[in-house]
Amino acid sequence: MITPNSSYPISVEHALQLFNLSPEFSREVLMQRYDEARRIWHPARYAGLTNNPEKYMEMYKKGEAKTKEIQAAYQLLLNYLLTQEDSSARSGTLEQTPKHP
């Protein structure tokens, strides 16, 4: 299992808000939202937006911090999804096993 980056402690609720997801989401939707957020916040995106080196570095650092937050949220939600799938698989096998008197 993937563990979230400890330097960016993040809750499941915050991660869901970051990707605009409801608690019932699929791996495909998570991956799509993750890719969108990475494209929007990728630090290199700011390269051509200003000729001011100080402003560029400010924007670059903001994008870098947001990218790390996005990565931590993605890892957390991926773990959450795997845990949900694992628990539903276990409960499904328990319900399917015949009961002996």
Instruction: Give one word for 53, left, alpha or beta, with left for phi > 0 and alpha for psi -120 to 50.
Output: alpha
Q: Look at the pTM and tell me if it is higher than 0.85.
A: no
CA–CA distance, 22 with 16 (Å, rounded to integer)? 6
pLDDT tens digits, the chain, 101 residues: what are they? 344 444 567 899 999 999 999 988 999 999 999 999 999 999 888 777 888 889 889 999 999 999 999 999 999 999 999 888 877 777 765 445 455 55
Under a CB-based contact definition with an 8 Å cutoff, are residues 77 and 10 in contact? no
Domains of the chain: 12-85 (1.10.287)
